[in-house]
């Protein structure tokens, strides 16, 4: 690959839009090409400047209230042609799994096949209902498994994962890599769980993937035994003083081993 | 199908489910496109009513992209009706094969101090033509994927990629040209 071919790819690389093969190609080029490395650093620098200085404006509470109060939307008979059938609202193509930016409730309906999309109350804050959280975590995990890639950033020798989260999310996850113990860090992504953007670390174990979500957990959650949901194990753990939820379909023994490795802070 | 035209109230619950989780994203986009808090808030409200009216056009898929495309279209319509000038995309030469900006040895951070940049960045972003500003806001601030941006702008992913590259090059150029150290680096 020469610089001319690499130049457009640098943007896609920075934006996490390349598949693994393309990531390998461009990283190989970057190992040999100082100019492209400088260009990439420049793009990253520009991103830092934007993230540092350009605010993300949030809607005011009064605007939100205004919309919630817009309950009676005026109808205009002339342009409301309706042959609306409830089924039309459901996503029709189950083979294409949407990326993590979809609203949590749509994803829930999508992956768990629930007919009513009002199943999950969106106006509420992060749910304290453990069952709903388990379902959401599983749903997110399944969606990631079905996607073209379960990660938005790939872990490489240059420890790309932790810095990738900075600027994207308020709190960076504790990044461990117990690769020598059979659980290499594959990469990370940002997902939606309980109506929040959540940092996720993705680990491999043989052919399996385990997701670790940075999400609050109660003392009860942390003390509980791992639960099993549709064949997937879930548990809340503390990693370097931060709560995380791990989800994966590995056996009980290996799951316990992974849990212990992370809790002990193993990274080699 | 029914004979003639039937009028059915839009499912407000569904409209809320599709839009409210992305209210901040909608407001942020509107704020960057309209330039003021009041305009942005009014715009989002208008867009919400429009989303309710056109809910039947939603056929599943990415709700955020569907909603933000409505917000964006409302912004463009409002801005166009205020200014009589047409914003011509010809000047941006969208149909040309993607010309990737030349790799340039100067890193933004080398030439300008971050703290200086941060203060200037809002000014420069607001000065960019809307077509460039919106891709940067959607990518760098809203963290949308190329696919989502393509859906919101109703253009192919390739156009998103080339426009993003051009936007970044333009913004970088503005920052470097306007920095105190501009004279010390051979540009």
Handedness of CA A141, A146, A149, A154 (dihedral sign): positive
The residue ranges of DSSP E strands in A135-231, in sequence order, are 153-154, 185-193, 196-205, 208-214, 227-229
Contacts of A126 in chain B (CB under 8 A): none
- Judged by a CB distance cut-off of 8 A, whether residue A223 touches chain B is no
Q: How much is the pLDDT for B126?
A: 93
Between B105 and B37, name the one with better pLDDT.
Answer: B37
3-state SS assignment for residue B125? helix
Sequence-distant (6+) residues with CB within 8 A of A45 are: B107, B108, B109, B110
Task: Show the CA angle centred on residue A15, arms to residues A14 and A16, nearest 5°.
Answer: 95
Q: What is the mean pLDDT of residues B70-93?
A: 74
Please give the interface size between A and B, counted as residue pairs whose CB atoms are below 8 Å apart.
Answer: 216
Distance from CA of B13 to the nearest CA of A (A): 7
Of B49, B94, B40, the C-alpha closest to B72 is B40
Kindly state the DSSP code that residue B104 receives in the 8-state scheme: -
Cα-Cα end-to-end distance for chain A: 33
pTM > 0.80: yes or no? no
Of A60, A74, A79, the CB nearest to B41: A60
User: Which ipTM did the prediction report?
Assistant: 0.79
Nearest Cα to Cα of residue B172 among B123, B108, B111, B101: B108
3-state secondary structure of A237: strand
pLDDT for A103-121, tens place per residue? Answer: 343 444 343 433 323 333 3
- Listed in sequence order, the residues at least 6 apart from A222 whose beta carbon sits closer than 8 Å to its beta carbon are A236, A237, A238, A243
Answer whether A11 touches B (CB < 8 Å). yes
Across the interface, whether the CB atoms of B14 and A117 are under 8 A apart is answered: yes
Q: For tokens 């991103």, name the residue.
A: A47
CB B149 within 8 A of CB B160: yes
CB proximity list for A119: less than 8 A, separation 6 or greater: A105, A108, A109
Looking at the complex, report in whole angstroms how far the Cα of residue B183 sits from the nearest Cα belonging to chain A: 18
Q: What token pair was written down for A56?
A: 């993300």
DSSP secondary structure code for residue A239 in this structure: E
In chain A, residues with a C-beta closer than 8 Å to the C-beta of B12 are: 70-73
Copy the structure tokens of residue A199. 């940092």
Within 13 A of B66's CA, how many CA atoms are on the CB side? 24
What are the CA-CA distances from residue A81 to residues A89, A90, A109, B29 (Å)? 16, 20, 27, 30
pLDDT in tens, chain A (268 residues): 889 889 999 999 999 999 888 988 999 999 899 899 989 988 998 998 898 889 999 999 999 999 988 755 444 422 332 222 222 233 333 333 333 323 343 444 343 433 323 333 332 333 446 778 888 898 888 888 877 788 888 887 557 888 888 877 878 889 999 988 999 999 998 888 877 788 999 999 988 999 999 998 888 888 888 888 888 999 999 999 899 999 998 999 999 999 999 999 877 7
Which pLDDT tens digit goes with each residue over A173-199?
899 999 889 999 999 988 888 777 889
Contact A101 B9 (CB under 8 A): no
Q: In this model, does residue B181 exceed pLDDT 90?
A: no
- A117 contacts B62? CB cut-off 8 A: no
Cα–Cα distance measured from residue A191 to residue A56, given in angstroms and rounded to the nearest whole number: 19
Residue B5 pLDDT: 42
Among A4, A39, A50, the residue with its CB nearest the CB of B140 is A50
The pLDDT of residue A95 is 33
Can you read off the two tokens belonging to residue B99?
């010309």
C-alpha A20/C-alpha A171 separation (Å) is: 26
**Those residues with Cβ within 8 angstroms of residue B83's Cβ, 6 or more apart along the chain or in another chain:** none
Chain A, 131 to 150: residues with Cβ < 8 Å from chain B are none
Q: Which chain B residues touch A35 with a CB distance below 8 Å?
A: 103, 105
Neighbours of B130 (CB within 10 A): 14
CB contact under 8 A, B140 and A63: no
Q: What is the largest CA-CA distance in chain A?
A: 68
The CA distance from A82 to B3, in Å, is 11
Quote the tokens at residue B148.
């989502």
Report the C-alpha gap between B131 and A132 in whole angstroms. 41
What tokens does A94 get? 């189950």
Q: Which residues contact A209 (CB under 8 A, 6 or more apart)?
A: A144, A145, A150, A186, A202, A203, A248
Instruction: Give the three-class secondary structure for A208.
Output: strand
Residue of higher predicted confidence among A136 and B136? B136
Query: Which is it for the CA torsion A208, A212, A217, A223, positive or negative?
Result: positive
B169 to A7, A103, B112, B187: CA distances (angstroms): 12, 32, 15, 13
**Partner-chain contact B168 A103, CB within 8 Å:** no
């Amino acid at each position: 690959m020469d610089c001319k071919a690499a130049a457009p790819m640098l943007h896609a690389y920075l934006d996490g839009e390349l598949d693994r093969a393309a990531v390998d190609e461009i990283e190989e080029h970057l190992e040999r090409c100082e100019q492209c490395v400088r260009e990439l650093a420049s793009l990253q620098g520009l991103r830092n400047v934007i993230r540092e200085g350009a605010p993300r404006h949030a809607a005011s509470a009064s605007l939100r209230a205004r919309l919630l109060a817009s309950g009676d939307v005026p109808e205009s008979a002339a342009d409301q042609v309706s042959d609306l059938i409830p089924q039309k609202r459901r996503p029709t193509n189950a083979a294409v799994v949407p990326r993590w930016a979809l609203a949590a409730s749509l994803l829930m309906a999508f992956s768990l096949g629930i007919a009513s999309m009002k199943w999950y109350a969106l106006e509420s804050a992060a749910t304290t209902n453990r069952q709903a959280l388990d379902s959401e975590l599983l749903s997110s995990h399944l969606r990631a498994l079905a996607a073209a890639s379960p990660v938005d950033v790939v872990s490489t020798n240059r420890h790309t994962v932790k810095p990738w989260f900075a600027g994207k999310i308020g709190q960076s996850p504790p990044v461990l890599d117990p690769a020598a113990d059979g659980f290499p860090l594959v990469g990370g992504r940002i997902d939606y769980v309980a109506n929040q953007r959540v940092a996720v670390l993705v680990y491999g174990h043989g052919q399996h993937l385990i997701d670790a979500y940075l999400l609050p957990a109660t003392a009860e959650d942390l003390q509980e035994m791992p639960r099993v949901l549709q064949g997937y194990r879930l548990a809340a753990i503390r990693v370097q003083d931060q709560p995380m939820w791990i989800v994966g379909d590995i056996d009980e023994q290996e799951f316990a081993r992974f849990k212990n490795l992370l809790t002990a802070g193993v990274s080699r | 199908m029914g004979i003639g035209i039937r009028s059915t109230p839009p499912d407000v619950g569904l409209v809320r489910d599709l839009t409210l989780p992305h209210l901040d994203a909608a407001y942020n986009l509107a704020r960057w496109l309209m330039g003021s808090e009041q305009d942005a808030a009014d715009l989002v409200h208008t867009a919400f009513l429009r989303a309710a009216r056109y809910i039947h056009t939603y056929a599943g898929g990415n709700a955020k992209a569907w909603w933000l495309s409505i917000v964006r279209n409302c912004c463009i319509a409002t801005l166009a009706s205020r200014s009589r000038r047409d914003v011509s995309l010809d000047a941006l030469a969208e149909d040309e094969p993607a010309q990737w900006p030349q790799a340039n040895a100067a890193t933004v951070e080398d030439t300008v101090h971050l703290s200086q940049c941060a203060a200037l960045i809002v000014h420069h972003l607001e000065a960019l033509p809307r077509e460039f500003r919106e891709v940067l806001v959607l990518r760098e601030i809203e963290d949308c994927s190329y696919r989502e941006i393509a859906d919101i702008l109703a253009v192919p992913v390739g156009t998103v990629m080339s426009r993003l590259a051009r936007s970044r090059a333009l913004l970088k150029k503005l920052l470097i040209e306007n920095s105190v150290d501009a004279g010390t680096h051979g540009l």
